[in-house]
Structure 1
Amino acid sequence: MLSTRDLVLCALFAALLGGLGMAPPIPLGFLPVPITAQTLGVMLAGTILGARRGGLAALLFVLLVAAGLPLLAGGRGGIGVLMGPTGGFVLAWPLGAVITGWLAERFASGTSPVRLFAVSVVGGILAVYAVGIPWLALVAGLPIEKAALGTMAFLPGDLIKAGVCAFAAAAVRRAGILPLHA
């Protein structure tokens, strides 16, 4: 059972994911998909809220997008976007938040930015890519190698976001504002 505080935190982090979609996307030029800040929200949800609340926050966000709210970068939303070539990455966000949170609860329970960076990379990048890349290959009719290679253009930005997440989560934890475990 979720407490009122848990529900508020889930809603707050779902809103954070939406707000990060308002940050101007960085176009790559050679790919039709820009770099956005929203995966930072996935990592923050897991490292700050933990597996259960972080996963629920990301799931709430995905459900709002599925309902048609224009919460993704560029004001996109709806089932069509989620079923499109890049939809697998967005659909993987709840899984990414759960894995990030689970790892944070077990291996990064303190304020070490190094450990928080590592769990952000595993949950917020590797887990999301593990779902998104095969989805992209399937929906776009690409060989898996080509889909993976195209996705690697996003890796430097995602690593920067994992670093930002690590320092932000460490600061929140040091302040003792939110307990990691629900």
Structure 2
Amino acid sequence: MTLSLAVGRPTLADHVLPRGLVTDVSLVLGGAALTGLLAQVAIPLWPVPITGQTLAVLLVGSTLGASRGVLAMLAYALLGVAGVPWFSDAGHGLGVMLSSTGGYIAGFILAAALTGWLAQRQWDRKFLQAAVTFLAGSGVVFLVGLPWLAVVTGADLGQTLAWGLWPFIPGGIIKALIAAAIIPVAWQGVRELDAAKRDNR
């Protein structure tokens, strides 16, 4: 029996690379690094910037599955707190997690869990189902991020939504649709490679 961090049904990553502890750790750290990289693609707004992080979360969750996706987001958060400068605007430290953006980072963990769980049930293989999956994953981020923002800033509901939701809706939809376009195409490529391998036997 192969030792693995993956739990449950196979995902896109499992069709490209064999499950194994070393592979899984590499994928988890790679997912965290991708999130940190896209965090630097940012439109500065106060108190919460618009970033590319959510796109990374959606891609990581769907390709790695629920367990490894959650671990990747935990690694992103914990390594950022430990000092890796990959939060938005190269921020790091516990202060970021306790700030107005901390709830969104915590929400990434649940979003990766949801998108990974749905991907393990093949919701990421066709555009429409993938779009639903990724829009749902994006929504989960706000379910955690908005209450956190309200508590940290002391804002009322209207101000919280103005700061933390309305400016993010267009970008969130675009990122979900980008992910929904990428992942099914990747699955098609995997299927074609598998078919070519069978034909060559």
Alignment TM-score > 0.5, same fold: yes
Partners of 2:183 and 2:58 lie apart in 1 by 9
Query: What is the aligned-residue RMSD (CA, Å)?
Result: 1.7
The amino acid across from 1:98 in the alignment is A
What TM-score results when the alignment is normalised by the length of structure 1? 0.87
Corresponding residue of 1:180: none
Partners of 2:52 and 2:31 lie apart in 1 by 14
Q: Using the TM superposition, give the Cα deviation of residue 163 of structure 1 relative to its aligned residue in structure 2, in angstroms.
A: 0.8
Higher mean displacement: 60-69 or 32-41: 32-41
Partners of 1:7 and 1:148 lie apart in 2 by 37
1:121 to 135, 155, 160: 135
Partner-residue secondary structure (3-state), 1:92: helix
What TM-score results when the alignment is normalised by the length of structure 2? 0.79
**1:100–1:120 contact (8 Å) kept in structure 2:** yes
Partners of 1:16 and 1:156 lie apart in 2 by 22
Corresponding residue of 1:158: 172
Please tell me whether Structure 1 or Structure 2 has the larger radius of gyration of its CA atoms.
Answer: 2
Q: Using the TM superposition, give the Cα deviation of residue 15 of structure 1 relative to its aligned residue in structure 2, in angstroms.
A: 1.1
Partners of 1:76 and 1:49 lie apart in 2 by 26
2:92 to 65, 77, 83: 77
**1:48–1:172 contact (8 Å) kept in structure 2:** no
The amino acid across from 2:127 in the alignment is P
Aligned length: 172
Deviation per residue, 1:114-146 (Å, 9 max, x gap):
1111111111x1111000000000110011332
The unaligned stretches of length 5 or more in structure 2 are 6-20, 192-201
**2:39–2:88 contact (8 Å) kept in structure 1:** yes
**1:43–1:100 contact (8 Å) kept in structure 2:** yes
**1:108–1:115 contact (8 Å) kept in structure 2:** yes
**1:45–1:55 contact (8 Å) kept in structure 2:** no
The amino acid across from 1:9 in the alignment is L
1:140 to 153, 158, 170: 153
Tell me the percent identity.
38
**2:48–2:100 contact (8 Å) kept in structure 1:** no
The amino acid across from 1:146 in the alignment is Q
Corresponding residue of 2:143: 130
Deviation per residue, 1:38-57 (Å, 9 max, x gap):
11100101111111111111
2:70 counterpart of 1:55? yes
